[in-house]
Amino acid sequence: MGIKKEIGKRIKSIRISKGYTQEKLSEMADISQRALSKIEIGENFITAETLDNLLNALEIDAEDLFAANKFKEPQELLKMINQNISEIGNNSEKLEIIYNLTKSLKRK
């Protein structure tokens, strides 16, 4: 698979994991929905400006986009998890999701 398709596939995967439609992400990134669609299917290569807009809209950095299968050390992961939880604040719905997820992982 070529780089255009790999990047597009990764952008689509992150978009979906965040619950964004193409329409919503394209608005957030200030690009047309058609352009986003063509990027996601690997038909168009992404420009540096569009890449920057998408990274900002998805709230990720380039490392998150290009290192899909990266592994971090446990201490680094714990730090990142704790940071994410602290940013959630007192949102009981999201905290309950995290609780249930961690509870289910303990059973494995």
User: Do residues 33 and 4 lie in contact, with contact meaning Cβ atoms separated by under 8 Å?
Assistant: no
Domain range spanning residue 96? 74-106
Whether 93 and 57 share a structural domain: no
Residue 10: half-sphere exposure toward Cβ, Cα within 13 Å: 21
Look over the chain and give the mean of its residue pLDDT values, rounded to a whole number.
88
In terms of domains, do 53 and 87 share one? Answer: no
Residue with token string 């992982």: 105
The DSSP letter of residue 31 is S
Residues 57 and 33 in one domain: yes
For the full predicted model, state whether its pTM sits above 0.95: no
Residue 99 and residue 53 share a domain: no
User: What percent of the chain clears pLDDT 90, i.e. is strictly above it?
Assistant: 43
pLDDT one-digit tens code per residue, 32-75: 999 999 999 999 888 999 999 999 999 998 888 887 556 667 88
Q: Is the dihedral of CA 9, 102, 60, 31 positive or negative?
A: positive
Q: How many structural domains compose the chain?
A: 2
